[in-house]
Amino acid sequence: MKPRIAHVATVDLTLRFLVLGQLRRLRDEGFEVVGISAPGPWVADLEAEGVRHIAWTSATRAWDLRADLRAFAELVGILRRERIDLVHTHNPKPGVLGRIAARVARVPCVANTVHGYWATPEDRLAKRALVLGAEWVAARFSDLELFQSLEDLRWALGRRIVRPSNAVHLGNGTDLSTFDPDAVGEARRLELRRELGIDPDALVVGTVGRMVAEKGYRELFAAARAVRARIPESRFLALGEIDPEKGDRLTDEEVHAAKEDVVFAGWRPDVRDLLAVMDVFVLASWREGLPRSAIEAAAMGRPLVVTDIRGCREVVRGGLGGLLVPPRDAERLTAAILRLLEDGELRERLGAEARRAALERFDERRVADLVVEHTRRLLRDRGIPIPASARAETSLRPARPSDVAALARLHRRSMPDAFLPTLGDRFLRQVYRAAVTDPAAVTIVAERGEGLVGFAAAVPSVRAFYRRFVLTRGVTAALAAAPRLLRPGIARRVWETARYPSTSGELPDAELLSIAVEPDSRTRGIGRALARRALDELAERGVGRVKVVVAASNEPANRFYEGIGFEPVDRIQVHEGIPSRVLVAPCRS
């Protein structure tokens, strides 16, 4: 029986966007991985990764004694019922409730990641005493305290909140193969600017985070007004939503008043691409652990303006990669933003420094390695059998209907610049349900452990496949994409996609529609194996040659296909203004 590891957070967004790399690695190590949080829109993504989700329905962000007692009792019941071997908690509130609940439920091993303490030196003494007192108590129920921020670790040790024997520096990171400046082409950046109503030549200052006061939004709004008074053509971009459960949430009136200067994009999964739209990244927070948003911006080569607080100044260490400003100081924030907007050479230098720092210090694979190492040690110390192998073997098999959600997620994650992800996850699922159930289509998946790490989809006739898709799933797919069809240019691109097969002339009708491999599984030959298997399956169906259509600007994909035997034969424009290369290969070598 596999050891059962539960990661606990308030909301599914934390599990999906902040710790998914760790969950994947634990899954690949052979553990049964469970996510526990309030239900939300990202549960399907977690389950597509092989992470079972358990709804903690009473969990809330805000502190409320009666509600928190209900949440505590519910969590104890979940942990007892599920027979968890190790609980790993995240964020301040589930960190306190979860560590204690795990011991009450007699979970053998308890770990906690400190993402930043929910108190700052500027807070009232009463709040600091309450928060740090709760952290001191909860730490006594824990076997291991992992700190994202080295400053937080040293500060907590100095105040004896944690014991030196069970406190470790973890750090933070991101997927550096995904968050790569070269991964987002100029066409995608221009497309996003058009969608957001931002001029192609405008200087863009952006931020990412929940729309609460402690993220420094009010100071940022004041800075936006002052900066645009001096540089009217500049624009500010905010990615995030109002958090209705937080007492310091921004009001609708504040957001409405700021719309003259700030474009509000809401919360979106294409954060990487939107970071590429920005010329300067700002994080004006009052409190952070080791901020993921700033790390991702650094990985994308954006110059940073961040507050001089614990965590933020670890990203901009020694002034490399950005500028530090005091928290809650709109004037100093304004001055720093203006300095970068008015000095292109400085922006370029700091952006390059930020990218180098990310490559050196913020690789999430190192973080995942440490989490796995400590997970194995804690279980071993309690005498719980652990998987012997480091990683499961990868195998290929035909796709099944139950794989559809994972295929859509892999497509979106691996090909974010492509057109189909702009139509939404529900539309992508319709496409891949058609590919999996169509008897003529070939859809092969690469599986490791209990999760999919790649797939390839191909058809003997792209014309016939599109025709069957329209007849059998056209209405359902159109309804799934309907809200997005109202965006500028989307309906036109849908029409261009639909008519493309009839304009491909003398090219082979058979087509390799897509290959996708998880970024952390690339360079292992998985993509090559998937392509070979798909072409062999097409050959069994009597297909002699197959084509693939790749954006001309997508150099890594073009190199990949040429490396496995495809030869360029034509250039076309499936979508107006976006040139693509057509490459052809025989199905049998």
* Three-state helix/strand/coil letters over 458-481: EECCHHHHHHHHHHHHHHHHHHHH
Tokens, residue 460:
């003997």
Q: What percent of the chain has pLDDT over 90?
A: 54
Say if residue 441 is in the same domain as residue 341: no
Tokens, residue 136:
């001191």
Pairing of strands 578-586, 235-239: unpaired
**What angle is formed at CA 449 by the lines to CA 445 and CA 455, rounded to 5 degrees?**
15
Asked if residue 326 is part of any domain, the answer here is: yes
Say if residue 94 is in the same domain as residue 202: no
pLDDT of residue 131: 83
Say if residue 534 is in the same domain as residue 511: yes
pLDDT of residue 168: 92
Look up the pTM and report it: 0.68
The Cα 377–Cα 451 span in angstroms is 24
Asked if residue 386 is part of any domain, the answer here is: no
The whole domain housing 450 covers 394-586
pLDDT of residue 55: 97
Asked if residue 388 is part of any domain, the answer here is: no
pLDDT of residue 466: 82
> Which residues of the chain are modeled with pLDDT < 70?
120-122, 245, 388-392, 416-422, 449-450, 477, 480-505, 520, 523-524, 574-577, 588-589
Q: How many CA atoms lie within 13 A of 515 on its CB side?
A: 25
Q: What is the pLDDT of residues 69-124, one digit of tens each?
A: 999 999 999 999 999 999 999 988 999 999 999 999 999 999 999 998 877 666 78
Is residue 98 within 8 Å of residue 74, measured between CB atoms?
no
Task: Please report, for the domain that includes residue 18, its CATH number.
Answer: 3.40.50.2000
Pairing of strands 167-169, 52-55: unpaired
Asked if residue 387 is part of any domain, the answer here is: no
Instruction: Report the SS3 class of residue 528.
Output: helix
Neighbours of 257 (CB within 10 A): 13
Say if residue 17 is in the same domain as residue 88: yes
Asked if residue 48 is part of any domain, the answer here is: yes
Asked if residue 241 is part of any domain, the answer here is: yes
pLDDT of residue 394: 79
Asked if residue 389 is part of any domain, the answer here is: no
Residues 6+ apart with CB under 8 A from 344: none
The Cα 128–Cα 82 span in angstroms is 35
Which of 381, 416, 443 is the endpoint of a domain? 381
Instruction: Report the SS3 class of residue 164.
Output: helix
Say if residue 139 is in the same domain as residue 43: yes
Is residue 149 within 8 Å of residue 116, measured between CB atoms?
yes
- 582, containing H or E segment: strand 578-586
Say if residue 236 is in the same domain as residue 356: yes
Task: Please report, for the domain that includes residue 409, its CATH number.
Answer: 3.40.630.30
Neighbours of 208 (CB within 10 A): 25
- 37, containing H or E segment: strand 32-38
Say if residue 191 is in the same domain as residue 153: no
Say if residue 59 is in the same domain as residue 146: yes
Tokens, residue 107:
């979970």
pLDDT of residue 523: 62
Say if residue 200 is in the same domain as residue 59: no
Structurally, the chain folds into a number of domains equal to: 3
Say if residue 353 is in the same domain as residue 370: no
Is residue 294 within 8 Å of residue 283, measured between CB atoms?
yes
Say if residue 92 is in the same domain as residue 168: yes
Asked if residue 229 is part of any domain, the answer here is: yes
Say if residue 367 is in the same domain as residue 426: no
- Annotate 358-397 with b (16+ C-beta within 10 A) or e (fewer): beebbbbeebbebbbebbbebbeeeeeebbeeeebebebe
